[in-house]
Amino acid sequence: MKRNDSIYQLAVAGVQQLVPYKPGKPIEELERELGLKRVVKLASNENPLGPSKKAMAAIQAELPQLSLYPDGSGYRLKNALARKFDVDPAQITLGNGSNEILELVARAFLTPELEVLFSQHAFAVYPIVTQAVGATAVVVPALNFGHDLAAMLHKVNEKTRLVFIANPNNPTGTLLAQADLQRFIEALPETCICVLDEAYFEFVADRGQDDSIAWLRKYPNLIITRTFSKAYGLAGLRVGYSFSSPEMADILNRVRQPFNNNTLALVAAEAALEDTEHLQNTLQVNTLGMQQLTEGFKNLGLKWIPSAGNFVSVDLSEPGQPIYEALLRKGIIVRPVANYEMPNHLRVSIGTAEENQLFLQALTDCLNNV
Ligand SMILES: *Cc1c(COP(=O)(O)O)cnc(C)c1O
């Protein structure tokens, strides 16, 4: 079909320049391309144990209701979250993945006159939602791959409406101390909203004394986002949520689609939240897998960024793209992170012991042969 370039001129300025998010390669796609039978995907920080059986049973039980619209208020899931984390249901916003919440915040609060602050190597969705609404992204150089909070604070001015902080951060896995983070939020002007992205919250074994939820009482400009996609193993259903002041939740609710979470997602997330055994198994597999992978890296003489998440970025001391492609040919999908300004790293999600072993063996072969 003939490409109609003039249509691009009609898009808003930010969208004209926008480079879409690049997801991890789907297993089926690689199987199709290479005719492989066994593909190991360690590319999107998904749960290697699969979803909770309780979540699957809840979906099965809900199927006869699918002719009805979902509960647009998410009453049951919000109440389950409120009980578990000791917040008021009015403080919760549900999203189609926590990515949607990031977008709701951008839509509700940004204009082309305003600035958004985030760190170098921070999650790729922050620049996308910023650019889509035409706001200006201010990227602050990282400190040892993590957030340089002092430098970030320095960049805050009267035009800064939003700061994104991922803790732990993806793809670096770096973790800020809660005390440092609170000091940062405390120092922000009231006109600047802080989105604290805790997509990997469950993997952080020891967060120190403070839970960020307690800060919500003091900071009406704070939004904490979390997700069922990672530790809870429900990435395919798209369920994320945020905790904030009720006023903030009210604002986000105004720009939200009325049925942004589908029925199956709502019941599965509620069931997964109760499945503490699945979560414990997940955390244990992650701890052991992290040891297995980092030990493997050490044996290969490779460095890595110590990670608090369910993934680790390894430094190959050479461009990662050719190794990524060589791994693909062996049926292993990991994530190149050159688009995060980390051209020599590959990000590897923690898999099962067997998947980790297959990856390490393939990596050893690739490094010896490229
Ligand atoms: C995976 C991820 C998310 C969100 O994923 P959803 O599936 O949209 O909930 C958000 N932030 C970071 C840093 C992530 O890595």
The answer to whether the CB of 123 is under 6 A from ligand 1 is yes
* Domain-ending residue, one of 258, 275, 292: 275
Within this chain, do residues 36 and 60 fall inside the same structural domain, yes or no?
Answer: no
**DSSP H helical segments within the chain, as ranges?**
6-10, 13-17, 27-34, 53-62, 75-85, 98-109, 125-132, 149-154, 178-187, 212-215, 246-255, 263-274, 276-299, 320-329, 353-369
Within this chain, do residues 216 and 131 fall inside the same structural domain, yes or no?
Answer: yes
pLDDT of residue 157: 98
The answer to whether the CB of 119 is under 6 A from ligand 1 is no
Within this chain, do residues 166 and 301 fall inside the same structural domain, yes or no?
Answer: no
Ligand 1 geometric centre to CA of 95 (Å) = 11
Ligand 1 geometric centre to CA of 228 (Å) = 9
Within this chain, do residues 316 and 179 fall inside the same structural domain, yes or no?
Answer: no
Residue-wise pLDDT for 130-152, tens only, equals 999 999 999 999 999 999 999 99
* Cβ-Cβ contacts under 8 Å for 368 (sequence gap 6 or more): none
Atom of ligand 1 nearest to the CA of 166: 13
Residue-wise pLDDT for 27-45, tens only, equals 888 888 888 888 999 999 9
pLDDT of residue 142: 98
CB 116 within 8 A of CB 162: yes
CB 108 within 8 A of CB 255: yes
Choosing from 100, 229, 307 the residue with most ligand 1 atoms within 8 A of its CB, the one to mutate for a pocket test is 229
Residue-wise pLDDT for 94-107, tens only, equals 999 999 999 999 99
The answer to whether the CB of 95 is under 6 A from ligand 1 is no
Residue 240 lies in a domain: yes
Residue 1 lies in a domain: no
pLDDT higher than 60, residue 370: no
Cα–Cα distance for residue pair 109/102, rounded to 1 Å? 11
Atom of ligand 1 nearest to the CA of 238: 7
Within this chain, do residues 166 and 182 fall inside the same structural domain, yes or no?
Answer: yes
Ligand 1 geometric centre to CA of 35 (Å) = 30
Which pair of tokens denotes residue 44?
């999107």
Residue 19 lies in a domain: yes
pLDDT higher than 60, residue 278: yes
- Domains: count for the chain: 2
State the residue for tokens 């193993």.
233
Ligand 1 geometric centre to CA of 300 (Å) = 30
Within this chain, do residues 257 and 298 fall inside the same structural domain, yes or no?
Answer: no
The answer to whether the CB of 170 is under 6 A from ligand 1 is yes
Q: What is the CATH number of the domain that holds 326?
A: 3.90.1150.10
Within this chain, do residues 94 and 215 fall inside the same structural domain, yes or no?
Answer: yes
> Closest Cα to atom 10, ligand 1: which residue?
199
pLDDT of residue 1: 63
pLDDT of residue 21: 84
Residue 233 lies in a domain: yes
Cα–Cα distance for residue pair 362/364, rounded to 1 Å? 5
Residue 5 lies in a domain: no
Q: What is the CATH number of the domain that holds 127?
A: 3.40.640.10
DSSP 4: -
Residue-wise pLDDT for 304-326, tens only, equals 999 999 999 999 999 999 999 99
Ligand 1 geometric centre to CA of 345 (Å) = 20
Within this chain, do residues 124 and 108 fall inside the same structural domain, yes or no?
Answer: yes
pLDDT of residue 208: 60
DSSP letters for 41-60:
E-SS---TT-S-HHHHHHHH
Residue-wise pLDDT for 139-195, tens only, equals 999 999 999 999 999 999 999 999 999 999 999 999 999 999 999 999 999 999 999
Within this chain, do residues 104 and 233 fall inside the same structural domain, yes or no?
Answer: yes
Within this chain, do residues 117 and 211 fall inside the same structural domain, yes or no?
Answer: yes
Residue 4 lies in a domain: no
Domain coverage including residue 364: 12-41+277-369
> Closest Cα to atom 14, ligand 1: which residue?
199
* Domain-ending residue, one of 275, 310, 328: 275
Choosing from 170, 203, 241, 312 the residue with most ligand 1 atoms within 8 A of its CB, the one to mutate for a pocket test is 170
Residue-wise pLDDT for 238-263, tens only, equals 999 999 999 999 999 999 999 999 99
Within this chain, do residues 248 and 314 fall inside the same structural domain, yes or no?
Answer: no
Within this chain, do residues 201 and 267 fall inside the same structural domain, yes or no?
Answer: yes
Residue 138 lies in a domain: yes
Residue 166 lies in a domain: yes
